[in-house]
């Protein structure tokens, strides 16, 4: 049986539909790969998100070494996608990044897991790079989740990126 790793971005989402999406998809663990796990969006900072997830029976882990470093975020703000990819791959290749990647893989093999970051579109987010690295190492199927503000649950969209 091929394992699935999900990804999700909370940009534009509210916490209640976000949680319902995770529940509907059977998510057991959120793997937060934000460099800085704080948000101006209510409910999405590390502490409040962890509490909300625990209340829904979903485990939470934060992996700072898998976060996009400031230089990568700056490159994306400039619209320099090639620089972003180069910066992030170099960051992920560091010992801490590789160790965190292996830990995330181990969790995703044990529990139905989702990689969490901010960006709504997976192609514009480092979580796609992380998911693809996980796929190379363990042959995960990668599926992107979307939070639909107009319904009780979100949608799953397989990715080929």
Q: For residue 113, is it within any domain?
A: yes
* Per-residue confidence (pLDDT) for residue 153, from 0 to 100: 47
Sign of the torsion formed by the C-alpha atoms of 86, 91, 95 and 100:
negative
Can you give the pLDDT of all 161 residues of the chain as single tens digits?
A: 679 999 999 999 999 999 999 999 999 999 999 999 999 999 999 999 999 999 999 999 999 999 999 999 999 999 999 999 999 999 999 999 999 999 999 999 999 999 999 999 998 899 999 999 999 999 899 999 998 665 444 444 444 44
- The helix-helix angle for 46-55 and 15-24 (nearest 10°) equals 50
Q: Distance (Å, rounded) from C-alpha 15 to C-alpha 129?
A: 25
Q: Distance (Å, rounded) from C-alpha 33 to C-alpha 12?
A: 18
* Per-residue confidence (pLDDT) for residue 150, from 0 to 100: 56
Q: Could you tell me if residue 93 is left (phi over 0), alpha (psi between -120 and 50 degrees) or otherwise beta? A: alpha
* Per-residue confidence (pLDDT) for residue 124, from 0 to 100: 81
Q: For residue 104, is it within any domain?
A: yes
Q: For residue 107, is it within any domain?
A: yes
Are 124 and 108 spatial neighbours (Cβ–Cβ below 8 Å)?
no
138 to 32, 65, 102, 106, 142: CA distances (angstroms): 20, 20, 10, 10, 11
Full domain range(s) for residue 45: 13-158
Task: List the beta bridge partners of residue 6.
Answer: 114, 143
Q: For residue 1, is it within any domain?
A: no
71 to 51, 85, 90, 146: CA distances (angstroms): 30, 11, 11, 27
Q: For residue 3, is it within any domain?
A: no
Q: For residue 5, is it within any domain?
A: no
Q: For residue 8, is it within any domain?
A: no
Q: For residue 6, is it within any domain?
A: no
Q: What's the structural domain count of the chain? A: 1
Alpha helices in the chain (DSSP H): 15-24, 46-55, 70-78, 81-93, 95-110, 126-138
């Amino acid at each position: 049986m091929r394992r699935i790793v999900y990804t999700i971005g909370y940009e534009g989402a509210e916490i209640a539909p976000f949680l319902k999406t995770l529940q509907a998809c059977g998510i057991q663990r959120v793997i937060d790969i934000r460099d800085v796990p704080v948000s101006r969006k209510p409910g999405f900072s590390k502490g409040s998100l962890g509490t909300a997830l625990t209340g829904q029976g979903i485990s939470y882990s934060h992996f700072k070494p898998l976060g996009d470093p400031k230089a990568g975020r700056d490159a994306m703000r400039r619209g320099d996608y090639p620089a972003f990819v180069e910066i992030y791959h170099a960051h992920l290749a560091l010992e801490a990044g590789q160790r965190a990647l292996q830990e995330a893989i181990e969790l995703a093999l044990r529990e139905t897991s989702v990689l969490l970051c901010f960006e709504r579109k997976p192609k514009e987010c480092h979580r796609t790079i992380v998911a693809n690295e996980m796929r190379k190492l363990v042959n995960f199927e990668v599926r992107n989740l979307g939070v639909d503000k107009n319904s009780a649950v979100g949608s799953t969209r397989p990715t080929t990126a």
